[in-house]
Chain A
Amino acid sequence: MKITIERGALLKSLNHVQSVVERRNTIPILSNVLIRADQGQLSLTATDLDIEVVESIDADVAQAGGTTASAHTLYDIVRKLPDGAQVELVYGADDGRLTLQAGHSRFALQCLPQEDFPAMSAGELPHRFDLPAAALARLMDKTRFAISTEETRYYLNGIYLHTVEGDEPMLRAVATDGHRLAQADYPLPDGAAGMPGIIVPRKTVQELQKLAEGQDGLIHVSVSDTKIRFEFAGVVLTSKLIDGTFPDYERVIPKDNDKMLEVEGKRFAQAVDRVSTISTEKSRAVKIHLEDGKLTLSVNNPDSGSAVEELAVDYSADPIEIGFNARYLLDIASQLDGERALFAMADSGSPTLIRDSEDASAIYVLMPMRV
């Protein structure tokens, strides 16, 4: 194998694939990136056995071939090369090393044979559809914060992506950790109807967000019961899915909450952020007191002090006092990007529904805290 490629292009792709590679690996070859060159294309592959990322870029291929070398080392080398450098990668089976030459720098890296690199067999991915990159990003952004980290309920460690039938069929993303739930919808794309409900693991969501950052255009998605694949701009990300049953989340979404509050979203978020300065890991409740047209936020922390802020709001139901975890409330408040936010409450012990007043395509449910 012998190729020449511009440093910037190589760095960008290496950055993408190396982030899949775990820092600590018990299987040596999983620390490596698979490098293959053929017909004017360099392809880089990295995997952690659950996710595989393949990125192809144009390169000047003098001789086709392939090998594997340490992903993080290679990335660090290329990162430190000067801007605009031309990088030459040569691998000859005789000395078993990958040489990298750029300007006056020359590196020789230990390799492992490309035949030993684990290939992820995606199998048949029968459900295929295209989604605008921005729409996919939104489904992930709106829900990702609610993904659980709890090991025992592993089926919550991802985003539940599934279709919703009805007059307006939807592709829906849901995540929950038992304290809050986030749900985002997008009109069902052609070809997605009939796909199984799947749970996309947290790490896959993270990697996808990194890879698709700044992308416009369409992302091609293909799905089976056990795998999902995203393809766009020379990148192919294939991931296993979480093998579990997502709970019946619709049960959790309150339907009959009748205490309605409307508030300016941004001002509310800022006020919550301000008063929660006082809260700590130990006392994390923000108390909300509501009466005719007035919302009072307060935090009382025996260790550090107290904070109170009042907001003028639209509220005319019976007075209510309800407490929320400050961080959870902030997470949701920061997702409300419309003018007005709507809160639908029942009582201080029941789940509260939160969403933008104008936009029901993303909703949040938050469980109150005892205060």
Chain B
Amino acid sequence: METGLCRDCFTVLPEGAKRCASCGRPRLVFHPELFSLSIAHLDCDAFYAAIEKRDNPELRDKPLIIGGGRRGVVSTACYIARTKGVGSAMPMFKALAKCPEAVVLTPNMEKYAKAGKEVRQLMRELTPLVEPLSIDEAFLDLTGTERLHKAPPAVSMAKLAKRIEAEIGITVSVGLSYNKFLAKIASDLDKPRGFSVIGEAEALDFLADKPVSLIWGVGKALQAKLERDGITRIKQLRNYEENDLLARYGVMGRRLFRLAHGQDARIVSAEREAKSISSETTFSNDISSFAELDKRLWPLCEKLSARMKAAGLAGQTVVLKLKTKDFKTRTRNQRLSDPSQLAEVLYRTASPLLKKECDGKTTFRLLGVGFATLTDGDLADPPDLLDPAAARRAAAERAMDAMRTKFGKDIITMGRGFKAPQRSQGSDGK
């Protein structure tokens, strides 16, 4: 029976082959259901690190950590650094203790976003049903694409993985299954540069001894609760009726029941809308003064506003986020009378909220600003009878946007965001 595929030349192979009969290479994948499954999860391998290594080959064989500053945490560690025990979300000092020779780079989100978009574009060429989960991973529903691509979904995905390597220069891992839950688990099985399949026939056995934390939505709290109830492995959930779990764990109980039985009816939806959009920064030194914080607020507002405008979105609620030096998060909301996407409105709303939080004593390590209650950008910033100046400020901001598009983003800035150019060495500043 033909249940195998060469991931390099896409030749379909009979079961049990060791090397591809056509190209002779050994990267093969076998599964009885390989050519009938059509829900895929694609995850880029050590995405930020991979991009940096692609752009600077000198880094290729060095351990590389992408993360924020002296105080930050690890965003991404390359696979070399991971062998030393460096992991995501690890505080930087701990990561450097484990791997002192690592090269540390601060994230260049713009570059990653660009690459992420390119990857997404290639995915969309396979199917319109691409549901991004983050910048570097997405679900794809390839059901019904077999005739279009003249190949089953497994082959299309293998081709896609190879094309991303060739055209974008990073590697990805693919999980293929019959639903989202298992596809996502599969993509993680064989990282990096993996291709794993979980079929319907083996799903129950596969899940049986896995920890309940594998289930999407089971966090620390629920895991602890389940453990108190004597449930640590997924198969133990199967001892209960759906109604029992529903009664004990609420809506989550239904999910536990279904996923424990390998059932997941969630569809892959390309229109997963964002609920809020935000932009934040962690300082290299804690700040308590309002004036200092306020200075950092404006660039965040400009950055967020640019994203809102690009996405054609407007927000009705402004959210201010602060993290104190002892890691307590504070968020403050202010509803606007009308949806907005302007940096000016954002700043004028967030700055008073910020001022209220600054008592001179509390010191903060992080500042963020966001828009929530998102709506269509067409509804943004309607004219105001009472504030004709608002229309002029909006027009000024849009004119600045237009100049930035044409001449680059540093061509013009508001006075409050202006940084004096560095004086050349030797100047005495008179």
Residues on B with C-beta less than 8 A from A367 are 382-385
Contact of B385 with A179 in the complex, beta carbons under 8 Å: yes
Q: Are A178 and B376 in contact (CB under 8 A)?
A: no
A282-B376, A369-B382, A370-B382 known; A152+B349 contact, CB < 8 A:
yes
B385 touches A252 (CB 8 A): yes
A291-306 contacts to B (CB < 8 Å): none
Within 150-187 of A, Cβ neighbours of B (below 8 Å) are at 150-153, 156, 176-181
- In the complex with contacts A282-B375, A370-B378, A178-B335 CB distance below 8 A: no
Chain A residue nearest to B391 (CB atoms) is A349
B239 within 8 Å of A by Cβ?
no
Chain A, 132-156, CB within 8 A of any chain B CB = 148-153, 156
Residue among A156, A178, A249 having the largest count of chain B Cβ atoms under 10 Å: A178
Contact of A177 with B383 in the complex, beta carbons under 8 Å: no
Assembly CA distance A181 to B378 (angstroms): 23
CB under 8 Å from chain A, chain B span 167-201: none
| CB nearest to B337 among chain A residues | A150
B385–A178 contact, CB under 8 A? yes
Among A148, A149, A180, A367, max chain B CB count under 10 A is at A367
CA distance A18 to B276 in the complex (A): 40
**Considering only CB atoms and an 8 Å cut-off, how many residues of chain B contact the other chain?**
16
Q: A282-B375, A282-B376, A370-B378 are in contact. Are A152 and B383 (CB under 8 A)?
A: no
Contact present for A152 and B382 (CB under 8 Å):
no
B259 to chain A, nearest CB (A): 32
Counting residue pairs across A and B whose Cβ atoms lie within 8 Å, the total is: 46
Contact of A179 among B335, B336, B379, B382 (CB under 8 A): B382
Q: How far is the CA of A349 from the CA of B395 in the complex (A)?
A: 14
A201 at the interface (CB under 8 A from B): no
Within 8 A of A (CB), among B348-402: 349, 375-376, 378-379, 382-387
Min Cβ gap A255→B in Å is 14
Smallest CB separation, A270 vs chain B (Å): 26
Asked if B285 is at the interface (CB within 8 A of a chain A CB), the reply is no
A265 CB-CB contact with B under 8 Å: no
With a cutoff of 8 Å between Cβ atoms, the chain A residues found around residue B336 in the complex are 150
Q: Does B334 have its Cβ within 8 Å of any Cβ on chain A?
A: yes
On whether the beta carbons of B337 and A153 are closer than 8 Å, the reply is yes
A181 touches B334 (CB 8 A): no
Question: Looking at chain B's contact residues, is the secondary structure mostly helix, strand, loop, or mixed?
Answer: mixed
A252 lies within 8 A of B376 (CB): no
Cross-chain contact A151 with B335 (CB below 8 angstroms) = yes
In the complex, per-residue mask of A177-203: 1 if CB is within 8 Å of any chain B CB, else 0:
111110000000000000000000000
Give Cα distance in the complex from A181 to B335, angstroms. 21
Contact status of A176 and B376, CB under 8 A, knowing A148-B337, A151-B334, A153-B337: no
CA distance A177 to B387 in the complex (A): 11
Whole-angstrom distance between the alpha carbons of A178 and B385 in the complex?
5
**Beta-carbon contact of A178 and B337 below 8 Å:** yes
Q: With A152-B349, A282-B375 given, is the CB distance from A351 to B334 under 8 Å?
A: no
Q: A148-B337, A152-B334 are in contact. Are A247 and B386 (CB under 8 A)?
A: yes
In the assembled complex, A365 has its CB within 8 A of some CB on chain B: yes
Once bound together, how far apart are the Cα atoms of A179 and B385, in whole Å? 6
**B385 near A351 (CB under 8 angstroms)?**
yes
> B residues 315-356 with Cβ under 8 Å of A?
334-338, 349
Cβ contacts under 8 Å, A177 to chain B? 337
Query: Whole-angstrom distance between the alpha carbons of A282 and B334 in the complex?
Result: 21
Would you give the shortest CB distance from B347 to chain A, in whole angstroms?
13
Of all chain B residues, which has the CB nearest A148?
Answer: B337
* CA gap between A119 and B386 in the complex, in Å: 37
B384 contact set on A, CB distance < 8 A: 178-179, 367
Q: Which residue of B lies closest to A350 (CB)?
A: B383
Query: Chain B 100-138, CB within 8 Å of chain A: the 1/0 string?
Result: 000000000000000000000000000000000000000
Residues of chain B within 8 A (CB-CB) of A178 are 337, 384-387
Could you say which residues of chain A place their CB within 8 Å of the CB of B334?
Answer: 151-152
Whether A365 pairs with B383 at a CB distance below 8 angstroms is no
Residues of B within 8 A of A (CB): 334-338, 349, 375-376, 378-379, 382-387
Complex A-B: 30 CB contacts under 8 Å: A150-B337, A151-B334, A151-B335, A152-B337, A152-B349, A153-B386, A156-B386, A176-B385, A176-B386, A177-B337, A178-B337, A178-B384, A178-B385, A178-B387, A179-B385, A180-B385, A247-B386, A249-B386, A252-B385, A282-B375, A282-B379, A349-B383, A351-B385, A365-B385, A367-B383, A367-B384, A368-B383, A369-B382, A370-B378, A370-B382
A sample of 5 more A-B contacts (CB under 8 A), given A179-B384, A252-B385, A351-B385, is: A152-B334, A153-B337, A156-B386, A179-B338, A368-B383
Q: Which 6 A-B pairs have the closest CB atoms?
A: A150-B337, A178-B384, A252-B385, A178-B386, A247-B386, A367-B385
